[in-house]
Chains A and B, each alone.
Chain A
Amino acid sequence: MNALLDVRGVSKSFRGLKAVQNASFTILEGSIYALIGPNGAGKTTIFNMVAGVFPPDSGSIVFQDKPINGLRPDQVCAAGIGRTFQIVKPFAGLTVLDNVVVGALLRSKTVSAAKSYAAEIMEKLGLGAKRDLPASSLTLPDRKRLEVARALATRPRLLLLDEVMAGLRPTECDLMVEVFRGLNRTDGLTILLIEHVMRAVMALAQHVGVLHHGEVIARGTPAEIVRDPAVLECYLGEETEV
Chain B
Amino acid sequence: MNRRAATLLAVLGVVLAALPAFAGNYLLSVATLILYLAFAGQAWNVMMGFAGQLSLGHSLYVGVAAYVAGGMFFHYGLGPWAGLWLAMLVCVLMGAAIGFLAFRFGISGVYFALLTIAFAEFTRIGFDHLGWTGGPGGMFLKVAQRDQIDLANFRGPPAMYYYAMLALAAGAFALCAWLLRSRAGYYWQAIRENEEAAQALGINTFRWKMIAVMISSAMTAVAGVFFAFYYNNLFPEQIFHISRSIEIILGPIIGGVGTLFGPILGAAVLTVLADGITELLAAFGWEIPGIKQVFYGIVLLSVIMFLPNGIWPFMAKKLRL
Q: Interface of A with B (CB < 8 Å)? A: 51, 72-74, 77-78, 83, 85, 89-94, 98, 101-103, 105-106, 111, 114, 150-151, 153-154
Contacts and interface: CB of A to CB of B under 8 A. Distances in A.
Enumerate the 6 nearest inter-chain pairs by beta-carbon distance, A residue then B residue, closest first: A91-B193, A77-B202, A89-B197, A106-B202, A102-B190, A73-B199
A77 B189 contact: no
Given A74-B202, A83-B200, A150-B201, A105 B193 contact: no
Given A102-B187, A105-B183, A105-B186, A73 B193 contact: no
A111 B189 contact: no
A98 B188 CA distance: 12
8 contacts: A72-B199, A85-B196, A90-B194, A91-B189, A92-B193, A93-B189, A111-B181, A153-B201
Nearest to B193: A91
Nearest to B181: A111
A72 B201 CA distance: 11
A154 to B, nearest CB: 6
A91 B198 CA distance: 9
Given A101-B186, A111-B181, A74 B199 contact: yes
Contacts of A83: 200
Interface in B95-153: none
Contacts of B187: 102, 105
Given A91-B198, A98-B186, 14 more contacts: A73-B196, A74-B200, A89-B194, A90-B197, A91-B193, A92-B194, A102-B189, A102-B203, A103-B202, A105-B183, A106-B201, A111-B182, A150-B201, A154-B201
B243 interface: no
A94 B189 CA distance: 8
B205 interface: yes
B186 A77 contact: no
Interface residues of B, number: 21
Interface string B204-219: 1100000000000000
Main secondary structure of the interface of A (DSSP, over half): helix
A210 B43 CA distance: 53
A74 B203 contact: yes
Nearest to B189: A94
Contacts of A153: 201
A154 B202 contact: yes
A51 B189 contact: no
Contact of B183 (A111, A150, A151): A111
A66 B192 CA distance: 32
Contacts of B258: 93
A152 to B, nearest CB: 11
A91 B202 contact: no
Contact of A51 (B194, B198, B200, B204): B200
B199 A85 contact: no
A40 to B, nearest CB: 22
B193 A94 contact: yes
A98 B197 CA distance: 14
A93 B198 CA distance: 13
A80 to B, nearest CB: 10
B311 to A, nearest CB: 18
Contacts of A93: 189, 192-193, 258
B186 A102 contact: yes
Nearest to A155: B202
Contacts of A73: 196, 199-200
A85 B182 CA distance: 26
Q: Most chain-B CB neighbours within 10 Å: which of A77, A98, A105?
A: A105
A149 to B, nearest CB: 11
A90 B189 CA distance: 12
A153 B200 CA distance: 12
Contacts of A74: 199-205
A85 B193 contact: no
A102 B201 contact: yes
A212 B201 CA distance: 30
Contact of A102 (B181, B182, B198, B205): B198
A153 B190 CA distance: 14
Given A91-B194, A93-B192, A85 B186 contact: no
B10 to A, nearest CB: 26
Contact of A77 (B183, B193, B201): B201
Contacts of B181: 111
A191 to B, nearest CB: 16
Interface string B221-236: 0000000000000000
Contacts of B183: 105, 111
Contacts of B198: 91, 102
A77 B205 CA distance: 13
A93 B313 CA distance: 13
Interface in B242-270: 258
A98 B193 CA distance: 12
Contacts of A92: 193-194
Instruction: Determine which residue in A78, A83, A102 has the highest number of CB atoms from chain B within 10 A of its CB, and name it.
Output: A102
Contacts of B192: 93
Contacts of B205: 74
A72 B189 CA distance: 20
Contacts of A91: 189-190, 193-194, 197-198
